[in-house]
Each structure stands twice: as C-alpha cells, then as structure tokens.
Amino acid sequence: MHLIDTHFHLDFYRDHKYWYDYINQNRQYTLCVTNSPGVYHSCKRLYPETKYLKFALGFNPKSIVFEKFDKRLFNHLQGETKYIGEVGLDFTGKLKEKREEQLYCFDYICSTVTENQVLSIHSKNAEKAVLEILKKNKVKKAILHWYSGDFGTLKELIDNGYYFSINTSMLKSSKGQNIIRSIPNERILIESDGPFSKINSQKFNPSKLKDVYLQINEVLQNPEFDKLIWQNFKALIT
C-alpha cells in the first residue's frame, strides 16, 4: 500500500527530526510545503530529500503580512525542485489589505513555473482570482489545497485539469463533504495539512495518515481508494 500526503508542514513540528525519520522508515510519500523561500532553503540544508519525502518551494499568502517576497532567492532556488507550494491567495480578514501585493506575487510565481512543476495552492476566499491567474499563465499542473470555494469555480478548475487535495477538516461541514463528492475520482489527492488539522480530535502527525484515508473514504465509499490516490498522484507527476 502506498500512502501519500500531498500537503504537510514538517517545519512546524517541534520534533521534526523524529517525523522526518518516521516518514522515510514507513515509506509514506510526503510533499513538505514551505511558507517562504528562506524556510525552503533551511529545510533543504537540514534534511536531504529522499524517495519518499520532497520539499516544495513556497510563499504562503499569509506570509506577506510579516515578510516581503524574496524574488531573488525564489528565482535562485526554483530550478532545483519539481514542487512549488504553498503559494496562492488569501482574501480573508486583514489579508484583504494586502490583496494587490498577493496578486503580484502569485502572478509572478505562476509566470515562472515550467510545465512539469507541480503547484500546491492556497485559495481562501480568492478562488476565482486564483483560477484567472492559473489560466493567464497557462499553468499545467496544480493541486488546490483544502478547496472551500463556490461550486461554479470548482467546476472551472476541474475543467482546466487541476487536482484537489482533501483533508479530514473538510468532513466537518456538509459543504466540505459536497465538495469532496463533486470532485471526479481521477482528480482527488489526500493531504493532512499537518499540524493545522486534527484527526480523531488530536493534532495530526504522520502516524495518523492511514486514518485520514479511512475517514475520507467513508464519504466516497471506493473499495480501491488507496490504489486510486496512488494512480492519481502518478498521473500528476509524470
């Protein structure tokens, strides 16, 4: 069985070395997103990438409140990775005040990616703007992380060939469950968003990834769910 977590924040765990070793020892394919080029650079210096664990070069839209986008460092590092994330837009609360800066950063990032690079995208309250920037820059490979937007934009994202990583937090509302059911089987991926999610009322850690699969499949009822996610992941990255 191949377990895959397509959105995980290793650097937010105090015991990150323990979980780095656990992921590799248990052969859980894990995409560790980062919130800035500096964090990505630090993670890469601290831990070698392996068959099972990869780091994504990111600039989380929430980061714009306390740091500027380091375009020079992003450009310097971008060529060494297949994965870009966490990137995107967030127009909630005070982040709306940084709307134009966010739009500039995300548009710039999308303009620089190659057709083989995979983006993990944050789109809170900004789904249509994310879609327009992806289309404008002809981004080929994107994963919408924890999608919570309207169903019309969801359909457009699906029609454009994008994937969706879903987590157990989406099971807590009827809208979240309906979003999961609305995504074609061949576009579904699994994420934890650890440590920013809970499983069985406890903060997620990689030992609980199988439980994420089980709980999400209670909604989808697919007898070959593990195999489906593996096939989808392979289709995306090849």
Q: Point out which residues pair with 121 in neighbouring strands.
A: 87, 144
C-alpha distances out from residue 103 to 61, 100, 124, 128, Å: 9, 5, 13, 12
- Of residues 71, 3, 63, the one with CA closest to residue 35: 63
**Distance (Å, rounded) from C-alpha 162 to C-alpha 70?**
27
3-state secondary structure of 39: helix
What domains sit in the chain, N to C, each tagged with a CATH number? 4-237 (3.20.20.140)
**Distance (Å, rounded) from C-alpha 58 to C-alpha 37?**
6
Helix pair 127-136, 99-112: axis angle to 10 deg? 30
Segment 196-223, tens digit of pLDDT = 999 989 999 999 999 999 999 999 999 9
Asked if residue 67 has a cis previous peptide bond (ω within 30° of 0), the answer is no
Helix pair 209-220, 174-182: axis angle to 10 deg? 80
Local confidence pLDDT in tens for the 238 residues of the chain: 799 999 999 999 999 999 999 999 999 999 999 999 999 999 999 999 999 999 999 999 999 999 999 999 999 999 999 999 999 999 999 999 999 999 999 999 999 999 999 999 999 999 999 999 999 999 999 999 999 999 999 999 999 999 999 999 999 999 999 999 999 999 999 999 999 999 989 999 999 999 999 999 999 999 999 999 999 999 999 9
- To which H or E segment does residue 59 belong? none
Q: What is the pLDDT of residue 1?
A: 75
